[in-house]
Structure 1
């Protein structure tokens, strides 16, 4: 604690992480790991550093993680989007972009997508891994909610093609955000340049946070907390699905049920004024978020609302959903009278 560490991370923690990542079907060696100050630092390094292919464009799903969109805009990184819906992405379009789009990176959140909440099928993940290898495009797999997975047959993209997958895992979400510890699993070809950029970024990640994480995992506290959180969020999500099915009697509004994770979304008709809806609900202390900042500039924004269960008690969910649909109906009634 009283000396500088290494850019790669606390050596004893790296060996603990190797065993821990194996539980997520991520099998690797310590020399492929890099501890980062949260996943956000890894994203900043990966988008700004050069890649062996010499390409410069980042491809990302639309919508996508809003802070990653902001990061790309902040650094002026060339970016392109590919539409992702509750059904996934068009793999033919993905292949075309890999072939012709000067793509160095494809950023994806395969499971519990932020903001959609949905997950890719195993076939889709296999296909993405295959296309990445065929066209020498690297995948950034942001598996930030891997700990909430309840399907034992669900594997990361990394399991289907590690040579072209950069696997990112956050430890802040399952513990507490202030910990600021993430881990990147890097292909051999990217390790030297990533390490160089990492050292220039912060010399090394906080040793206290790394030591705390090591103790937390080794003692079994991590696993016990994980099981409690998984059960809590799973029950809340089931309650949300029940409430959406109960209160949605509108033909042109489509809730998207998901079984795990922390959020889902509602597809809305084009004519509904989302800012007005959010303002009305906010006055009732129902805080929802529009998704405009989850899209690249110029990309068509689909009308939808993100629903999150992280900051709400289970007994509040039904009332909240009821008020959302009541307000939508009220707005439509006002429009009809005009």
Structure 2
């Protein structure tokens, strides 16, 4: 019999949907995937060649410390320091993707039955992680600028959560960004109450508009900062990290040892060689230029396609726009019609820990070209019209979900971090 802790953990609808989309004619806005044509294939290949050459090459194939490659941790620390988050190598633990970092934090801080607070909607794999840990999940209301610190204070007072999980910069799924004043307020609350805050930051360097905002972790030592090489490098390397205070480091290292001993030695060594030899800032700027154009194409196409009364976010960065269709529409019911027109998206319901807003859906703009985005949104418009006309195209049993966040409408859009 399957262990009880898995009973309430649903399969990821995004992963399920991706498995269905093997037809090349399908234009997919479903997965939060970086554009593969923008991977620095030559640079990564050269990095692997470098670590597998010379007298030290065999060490790259050996067991390694659980904490991670020292050179890689130093380079990651330098990068975080340059972003306003002073970090030394001893303050970092390298993980097998930032998803593992979140799992290790949950292992260290969340006992079965403990309360975890999350924004709503939130990253659905985080919900899976906390469900697997046996947590009771409570939600924190927010608005177009992210979580409401006063509402978080009320949740902390009433539920005493073990931690609060947030994606404060270009959030998944909404694209919204928490302003600096609110970051400071959340940090003060953490310091005053002893709350642990988990800042998940896979998208922070992908800013297309406006000035950078300091990481939430720069405001308080009660904030654990999770990062990833997946969105600015290559997700296939499965390299992430957690920046942790000294008090939690031993527990996280033990959790890491129990999980997989250490992250791939050769991948860490290659990443360190790559970062040492590559102008990563220049590469990230190329990503920003490409993704900015794609974001603009999607926002423009939505404005001319979605039915009256629709709203959507216009994010300052990241990978996603969050759409709310007019009342009465069900995005999950729309999906089979959209797939019949060779366009895919993720219905919003699975991103909710409580009662879902079924009129919502998430669109990713990074993996498709500008022309593909325009064509895909056109197809989505056709599917919407067909659905509104009452046509049925079967069902797709991969989407399920569970209170919508109130949003102020500005020029037909939910203004997500756009100043």
TM normalised by structure 2 equals 0.74
1:262 matched to which residue of 2?
Answer: 319
1:76 matched to which residue of 2?
Answer: 134
Asked if structure 2 preserves the Cα contact closer than 8 Å seen for 1:63 and 1:84, the reply is no
| Aligned mate of 1:247, from 305, 320, 328 | 305
Asked if structure 2 preserves the Cα contact closer than 8 Å seen for 1:42 and 1:184, the reply is yes
1:329 matched to which residue of 2?
Answer: 385
Note closer, same or farther for the CA distance 1:173–1:66 as it changes in structure 2 (3 Å cut): same
1:211-251 Cα deviation digits (max 9, x unpaired): 1111111112533332211111111001112222233450x
Identify the structure with bigger relative contact order (alpha carbons < 8 Å, sequence gap 6+): 2
CA distance in 2, matches of 1:292, 1:302: 5
Cα shift at 1:149: 2.1
SS in 1 for 2:346: coil
CA distance in 2, matches of 1:302, 1:332: 15
1:18 maps onto 2:77 in alignment: yes
1:191 maps onto 2:271 in alignment: no
Cα shift at 1:47: 1.0
Cα shift at 1:174: 1.7
1:293 maps onto 2:355 in alignment: no
Q: Bigger CA drift: 152-161 or 233-242? A: 152-161
2:399 matched to which residue of 1?
Answer: none
CA distance in 2, matches of 1:54, 1:100: 19
RMSD: 2.1
CA distance in 1, matches of 2:86, 2:207: 18
1:5 maps onto 2:64 in alignment: yes
Note closer, same or farther for the CA distance 1:87–1:328 as it changes in structure 2 (3 Å cut): farther
Note closer, same or farther for the CA distance 1:320–1:3 as it changes in structure 2 (3 Å cut): closer
Asked if structure 2 preserves the Cα contact closer than 8 Å seen for 1:55 and 1:102, the reply is no
State how 1:230-245 maps to structure 2 within 5 Å: 230-245=288-303
Asked if structure 1 preserves the Cα contact closer than 8 Å seen for 2:115 and 2:135, the reply is yes
2:265 matched to which residue of 1?
Answer: 207
CA distance in 1, matches of 2:147, 2:191: 18
List runs of 5+ in structure 2 lacking aligned partners: 1-59, 392-419
| Aligned mate of 2:226, from 146, 168, 187 | 168
Asked if structure 1 preserves the Cα contact closer than 8 Å seen for 2:78 and 2:87, the reply is no
SS in 1 for 2:116: strand
CA distance in 2, matches of 1:54, 1:178: 32
Q: Bigger CA drift: 72-81 or 231-240? A: 72-81
What count of residue pairs does the alignment treat as equivalent? 331
CA distance in 2, matches of 1:94, 1:179: 35
SS in 2 for 1:227: helix
Q: Bigger CA drift: 210-219 or 2-11? A: 2-11
TM normalised by structure 1 equals 0.91
Note closer, same or farther for the CA distance 1:50–1:281 as it changes in structure 2 (3 Å cut): closer
2:35 matched to which residue of 1?
Answer: none
State how 1:283-322 maps to structure 2 within 5 Å: 283-296=340-353, 298-322=354-378
Q: Bigger CA drift: 266-275 or 111-120? A: 266-275
CA distance in 2, matches of 1:258, 1:194: 33
Note closer, same or farther for the CA distance 1:274–1:3 as it changes in structure 2 (3 Å cut): closer
SS in 2 for 1:272: coil
CA distance in 2, matches of 1:168, 1:126: 18
1:64 maps onto 2:126 in alignment: no
Q: Which runs of 4+ in 1 moved over 6 A?
A: none
Greater helix share, 1 or 2? 1
| Aligned mate of 1:282, from 327, 331, 339 | 339
CA distance in 2, matches of 1:126, 1:54: 30
List runs of 5+ in structure 1 lacking aligned partners: none
CA distance in 2, matches of 1:47, 1:312: 34
| Aligned mate of 2:90, from 21, 31, 40 | 31
Asked if structure 2 preserves the Cα contact closer than 8 Å seen for 1:263 and 1:306, the reply is yes
State how 1:40-119 maps to structure 2 within 5 Å: 40-50=99-109, 56-119=114-177
2:285 matched to which residue of 1?
Answer: 227
1:244-287 Cα deviation digits (max 9, x unpaired): 2233450x211222232211111123311323311111111111
